[in-house]
Amino acid sequence: MQMGGSKELKEQVLDKDLCTVCGACVDLCPYFKAYNGKVAQIFECDLTQGRCFAHCPKTGVDFEQLAQNYFQQPYRGDALGFYRRITAARAGEKLGSGQFQNGGTVSALVTMALESGLIEGAVLTDSEGVKPVPRLVTQAGEVLDCASTKYMAAPTISCLNQAAGKGLRNLGVVGTACQLTGVAQSRLNPTRKEGFEDPVALTIGLFCTWSLDARKFQDLLADRVDTSTITGMDVPPPPAEIFVIRTHNGTVEIPLPEIRAIVPKGCSVCPDMTAEWADVSVGALEGSSGWNTLIIRTEKGEQLVEKAVSEGYLILDAFPDSSLENLTLGAGNKKKRAQEKADMEEE
Ligand SMILES: Cc1cc2nc3c(=O)[nH]c(=O)nc-3n(C[C@H](O)[C@H](O)[C@H](O)COP(=O)(O)OP(=O)(O)OC[C@H]3O[C@@H](n4cnc5c(N)ncnc54)[C@H](O)[C@@H]3O)c2cc1C
Ligand code: SF4
Ligand code: SF4
């Protein structure tokens, strides 16, 4: 793992426009803040080694170190990362109904983990109007407030930093690959901070091909949608080439080229589609509306899923071979594109 301070973070990530607003550098100290879809350094700091730099997923991640620590294996660069098994999943009756993005697997797992005391709090992403807002949830009944995907880059991990700073432990975190890579790095205590205790007990990853710049997205919506009426958003599978916004008054479709134009540059160098450094990772199940793809990566993830199934929070089904082929191809292509882009950036 490379080391540096806030000066290096600013030069190597923020000034190069590679930040994807994951929040891993925010609220560790008084100097990095997130505001309306952007992260900024508000005061200079002269430390030559900082957690901000060491936790950032864009400063040069040591995949070998993460692989050895979280999976006790050498890093292989496989398209889907390390995993035990992949299954189709959706929320069971015990959860009740909610505005789930797909099958509600994420909400089901978080709810069960809170209700059973496996975790004492969960770092989730809620919204205020259309804006994504990190939220620490401590009651199972609050989890459904945060259901559904806000397709914008969100500083979710700032909420983990705040909670850990207050001494909270045994936390669950739901996040995309960049957010959870930041978390995975932070849990190794790379700056050897004295008295460090890992605050994280469970990580649930979300598949992610890209996110949107939250400010630019709000501008793009301004003259097309009354944002107070939005109930959800979705990206239908190819060949649709549209981004769909659901509102109380019907749906609004935006051509995907307009949407791709507001994806942060940092997403183009992101090699991870399936949030590889998580206990379990969850995405849509192509061709099966109302179902998720669930990748079980760790023993803890396996135990969580088994318990959720036995207690009626989760229903599993077979994962089709064709879906595995497509997922592997999509994730492998993302890695290749990211490597090519990173090579171009270095030239
Ligand atoms: C930016 C983004 C891009 C995605 N792209 C893909 C994709 O290309 N392919 C694919 O298969 N799946 C993608 N997903 C994942 C997918 O949209 C669903 O989140 C996933 O399938 C889980 O569905 P669910 O019904 O179990 O979730 P729910 O039970 O509805 O729970 C959703 C959870 O997502 C969290 N969340 C919402 N918005 C954000 C955000 N901006 N950042 C971090 N966490 C958030 C909430 O905390 C909530 O707990 C993406 C998710 C995000 C956030
Ligand atoms: S990518 Fe995350 S950790 Fe890196 S500068 Fe942006 S918000 Fe901070
Ligand atoms: S594509 Fe990668 S960098 Fe961009 S939001 Fe998704 S996980 Fe983060």
User: Per-residue pLDDT tens for 280-337?
Assistant: 999 999 989 999 999 999 999 999 999 999 999 999 999 999 999 999 999 999 999 9
Q: Which residue has the higher pLDDT, 41 or 345?
A: 41
Which phi-psi region, left, alpha or beta, contains residue 290 (left: φ > 0; alpha: ψ -120 to 50)? left
> Which residue, by CA, sits nearest to atom 8 of ligand 2?
25
Q: Are residues 153 and 174 in the same domain?
A: yes
User: Residue 246 — very low, low, confident or very high, per pLDDT cuts 50/70/90?
Assistant: very high
Total domains present in the chain? 2
Residue 320 in domain: yes
Residues 93 and 84 sit within 8 Å (Cβ to Cβ): no
Query: Which residue in 154, 150, 162, 202 sits closest to 178, CA to CA?
Result: 154
- Looking at the predicted structure, is the pLDDT value of residue 140 above 80? yes
User: Residue 68 — very low, low, confident or very high, per pLDDT cuts 50/70/90?
Assistant: very high
Residues 6+ apart with CB under 8 A from 192: none
Q: Are residues 234 and 105 in the same domain?
A: no
Three-class SS state of 120? coil
First vs last C-alpha separation in the chain: 22
Q: Are residues 58 and 12 in the same domain?
A: yes
Q: Are residues 163 and 280 in the same domain?
A: yes
Residues 124 and 146 sit within 8 Å (Cβ to Cβ): yes
Rounded to whole angstroms, the Cα distance separating 22 from 9 reads 14
| Distance of CA 337 from the midpoint of ligand 2 (Å) | 21
Q: Are residues 103 and 202 in the same domain?
A: yes
Instruction: Check residue 3 and give its pLDDT.
Output: 86
Instruction: Check residue 223 and give its pLDDT.
Output: 87
Rounded to whole angstroms, the Cα distance separating 322 from 328 reads 10
Residue 1 in domain: no
Q: Provide mean pLDDT across the span 100-110.
A: 97
Q: Within 6 Å (CB) of ligand 3, which residues are found?
A: 20, 153, 176-178, 208, 210-211, 266-267, 270
| Distance of CA 87 from the midpoint of ligand 1 (Å) | 17
Q: Are residues 52 and 113 in the same domain?
A: yes
Range of the domain at 249: 216-260
**DSSP category for residue 320:** P
CATH number at residue 226: 3.10.450
Instruction: Check residue 1 and give its pLDDT.
Output: 65
The predicted model scores a pTM of: 0.97
